[in-house]
A and B are shown apart, each in its own frame.
Chain A
Amino acid sequence: MADTAYDLIVVGGGPGGYVSAIRASQLGLKTALVEAQHLGGICLNWGCIPTKALLKSAEMWHSLQRLDEFGLAADNIRFDLDKIVKRSRGVSAQMMGGVKHLLKKNKVTVIDGWAKLNGPGKLNVEKDGKAVGSFTAKHIILATGARARELPGLEADGKLIWTYREALVPDVMPKSLLVVGSGAIGIEFASFFNTLGADVTVVEVMDRVLPVEDAEISALAHKSFTKHGMKIHVKTTVTKLERGKDSVTATLDHGDGKTSQITTDRVIMAVGITGNVEDIGLETTGIKADRGHIAVDGYAQTGVPGLYAIGDVAGPPWLAHKASHEGIVCVEKIAGVKDVHPFATTNIPGCTYCSPQVASVGMTEAVAVDKGYKVRVGRFPLLANGKAIALGEPDGLIKTVFDDKTGELLGAHMIGAEVTEMIQGYTIARSLETTEAELIHTVFPHPTVSESMHESVLDSLNRAIHF
């Protein structure tokens, strides 16, 4: 009989769960992790990582279309969707193996099965209908993640109407595609299929694509997407999806009583996600999920002593790095590490790997103004950046929002080449509470796209050199 009493049991092996478990073990807690399906969670297996693999293929494909521009030539260029997908799955498999190894190395016991709370501090785990065992733990972290949200009447069927799951392993290359929802997930798939030649239409209920981003960035993204052939309908809802033999006809409501119909080979539903709160025994602890999420404080405490929730199941932003960091704060608090600060969502960068890429941290200009800040805004177009032009990626903008009174960097918003790799610069700046003065005194290497981050800060004081 295996050990059944732990200091900490983590339920869910995604980027929140496995990171928490490793950190707990580092801190000397006897730790177990229960995972029902695959270590690494959605992020590794059905999200962040495999989509990046797909998008890399799309990016290379896009480059191949532009060979002449770079003085190159090749004949008979084609792609093999199966191989693209296979590579993506291989990347996920490799990463999953890595997580397994890390957990083992850190002496975290991995329990294979579905965990269900049986009152505070107790868990029953079963696998394929058979009991695996009953476990007790002083502390239990729920890191059960989330899944695609479904809209009544517009449910995915996995064949013609996909969620991200099917979209990651397409059996055919759709000639036409309707993407419902223009958040990060929807736009990344739209970008992938559009680049590979599908006729892609995106429908967004809000008044702009990537609605959580700064309005200016959204507008530039919209322009860039349509330039690449995407059709975008904002302020539009899908009211009906009718499945045909090998196509779906969608009825779109554009507001003001105007409707239209569009028929596409496939539809991807990307209208947000909902927390996995069902069938985990939440009711045995007295906790109620609120709209698919478990409410927690800055240390991920649920209100029931010894029970915590992190990551997607604990609410937005639904990002892997949010889950990991929240888990670490939670575990360090449990272990009594000194000077643990409550988790705050204000410094979490967000990245969208569409083409061009979008990345941001902190407040948008509109939010800052709403909060009563007198803002100073810096803008620098990549068109004026030598490296971006050399890369052949001159579309883009670096926007910075400062508090006029204190010089605090309230937010940074970027669109263009490499920006997902650059946003951490501004994130560090925000974490360290630098003002525009320190950013200005920072030497940025030449020639890099990141120089435009410097110029944007300079521009906030009307001091940009190259624009």
Chain B
Amino acid sequence: MPITITMPALSPTMTEGRIARWFKAEGEEVIAGDVLAEIETDKATMEIEAIDDGILGKILIPGETDGVAVNTPIALILEEGEDVSSMDGFTANAPVVAVAGTAAESSPAPTASAPVAADPAPVATPVPTSGQRIIASPLARRIAADSGLDLALVKGSGPRGRIVKADVLGAQGTAKSAPAIPAAPATPVVIPPTSVEPTEIPLTNMRKTIAKRLVAAKQDIPHIYLTIECELDALLALRKQVNERRPDTKVSVNDFIVKASALALKQVPAVNASWTDTAVIQYNTVDISIAVAIEGGLITPIVRNADLKGLAAISAEVKELAGRAKESKLMPEEYQGGGFSISNLGMFGIKEFSAIINPPQSAILAVGAGEQRPVVKNGALSIATVMSCTMSCDHRVVDGALGAQWLAAFKGYIEDPLGMLL
């Protein structure tokens, strides 16, 4: 019986991927370790390798195919002695013999091999949501993209649930998506005693979404807050050097904070996770959401794989994303997802604050202003530039000690910024 290669789940959040290309042709011999195909997900491009020797009998889904759901059979490998006729009846919908990576042991086929993702290794975590390919008309997609509406939130009224223009226009009136995190706790509405009639400001869709998500986050997530102070003088000195060396980049303090957070997440991966009712989902990529204030609300564009990117790259990406965020030109995949958030109000002179977690993430770092403060060092009073950072954690996932461990790692990078460059 031929071995079925299925679309692997290359990350816990992956529900579908793109088969970029096949490196082997039908009929070609494959040896364990050979790269069979290149898979692209919303997060990365990865290769799948053959585990067993055999012949690539049939490619069920050709290269350059988008939206292939995880676990969809994509190819058949013939083992030694099997001939082509053993593949009769196999189609793209054939029963799955070997689920990529994770299900290999439980597969009924005795020699079932399963492709493995080159990097990172497949993880045995369930996929949180069952993201099917979204069927929508091109016009509906265009309008949704232009207005920042997430098509996943739209119910289609066309044939077989296809989302059409009218659905998007209708949804714009009710549920515009702008996953938002709080920059500051909401203040209660107090109408000042005055004889003048108050002004009623109609709720925008973004405002409604922010309200809905924040209420849900604050109600469902048991927040704990951990504050730490970081000295910035070394970082500021390094930043000066960096910017003198490359005046065209202008790396900001915030860029260092993004990088330091990314490395801390790499070091303490348990924070880079989400709570579900059945399991804690730990992410294998470091994707950091950054709160950006925009007209009428805020939005959280994501720097993906921030741990793998250099400061200049992060800096350029944040600038570019924030710029487009302000013009409401982000694509949904550019602000949906992420494993950790940063909200920085330092530039507004805020000393410290606590933020509300951006679900389904488990932690958000609220960054205050770097300011000169008296500090006691070795029994003597001195002056240092100090920044207070408060991490809000979902206690279901991140206990106090774990959070403290993460903050210690973060502080380590901030106070010894050369460590970030290693």
Q: Which A residues are closer than 8 A to B by beta carbons?
A: 339, 341, 405-408, 432-435, 437-438
Contacts and interface: CB of A to CB of B under 8 A. Distances in A.
B159 A433 contact: no
Contact of A407 (B142, B159, B164): B142
B139 A435 contact: yes
B147 to A, nearest CB: 10
B268 interface: no
B146 A435 contact: no
Nearest to A407: B142
Contact of B165 (A339, A341, A433): A433
A408 B140 CA distance: 10
B139 A407 contact: yes
B267 interface: no
Contacts of B157: 339, 341
B146 A433 contact: no
B138 A437 contact: yes
Contacts of B159: 339
B143 interface: yes
B137 interface: yes
Contacts of B146: 405-406
A425 to B, nearest CB: 15
Nearest to B145: A406
Contacts of A434: 137-139
A303 to B, nearest CB: 24
A375 to B, nearest CB: 15
Nearest to A432: B137
Contacts of B139: 406-408, 433-435
Closest 6 A-B residue pairs measured CB to CB?
Answer: A433-B137, A433-B139, A435-B138, A434-B138, A408-B139, A438-B138
Interface string B122-138: 00000000000000011
B contact patch SS? helix
From B139, B140, B146, B159, residue with most partner A Cβ within 10 Å: B139
B233 to A, nearest CB: 51
A331 B142 CA distance: 34
Interface centre among B140, B142, B157, B159 (most CB of A within 10 A): B142
Contacts of B140: 433
A405 B143 CA distance: 9
24 contacts: A339-B157, A339-B159, A341-B157, A405-B146, A406-B139, A406-B142, A406-B146, A407-B139, A407-B142, A408-B139, A408-B165, A432-B138, A433-B137, A433-B138, A433-B139, A433-B140, A433-B165, A434-B137, A434-B138, A434-B139, A435-B138, A435-B139, A437-B142, A438-B138
Interface residues of B, number: 11
A406 B141 CA distance: 10
A461 to B, nearest CB: 15
B15 to A, nearest CB: 25
Interface in B143-161: 143, 146, 157, 159
A432 B139 CA distance: 8
Contacts of B142: 406-407, 435, 437
A437 B137 CA distance: 12
Given A406-B142, A433-B138, A434-B138, 7 more contacts: A339-B157, A339-B159, A406-B139, A408-B165, A433-B164, A437-B138, A438-B138
A436 B138 CA distance: 10
B164 to A, nearest CB: 6
A312 B405 CA distance: 77
Contacts of B138: 432-435, 437-438
A111 B140 CA distance: 46
B2 to A, nearest CB: 36
A23 B143 CA distance: 35
A437 B146 CA distance: 15
B143 A406 contact: yes
B148 to A, nearest CB: 14
A92 B360 CA distance: 68
Contacts of A438: 138
Which of A405, A406, A435 has the most B CB atoms < 10 Å from its CB?
Answer: A406
A434 B139 CA distance: 6
A405 B145 CA distance: 12
Contacts of A406: 139, 142-143, 146
A44 to B, nearest CB: 30
A435 B165 CA distance: 11
Contacts of A408: 139, 165
A426 to B, nearest CB: 14
A343 to B, nearest CB: 14
A407 B164 CA distance: 14
A432 B142 CA distance: 13
B158 to A, nearest CB: 8
A407 B138 CA distance: 10
A438 B137 CA distance: 11
A29 B266 CA distance: 66
Greatest chain B CB density within 10 A among A341, A407, A432, A433 is at: A433
Contacts of B165: 408, 433
A405 B146 CA distance: 9
Nearest to A409: B139
Nearest to A405: B146
A370 to B, nearest CB: 19
Contacts of B143: 406
A161 B158 CA distance: 49
A76 to B, nearest CB: 57
Contacts of B137: 432-434
A340 to B, nearest CB: 11
A435 B142 CA distance: 8
A435 B300 CA distance: 29
B360 to A, nearest CB: 32
A137 B79 CA distance: 66
B222 to A, nearest CB: 43
A339 B137 CA distance: 17
B135 to A, nearest CB: 12
A329 to B, nearest CB: 14
Contacts of B164: 433
A30 B10 CA distance: 56
A325 B140 CA distance: 24
Interface in B346-400: none
A339 B157 CA distance: 8
A82 B77 CA distance: 73
B64 to A, nearest CB: 14
B157 to A, nearest CB: 7
Q: Residue among A405, A434, A435 with the most chain B CB within 10 A? A: A435
Contacts of A339: 157, 159
Contacts of A341: 157
Nearest to A437: B138
A406 B157 CA distance: 20
B133 to A, nearest CB: 17
A8 B157 CA distance: 28
A435 B139 CA distance: 6
A216 to B, nearest CB: 25
A253 to B, nearest CB: 45
Interface in B88-143: 137-140, 142-143
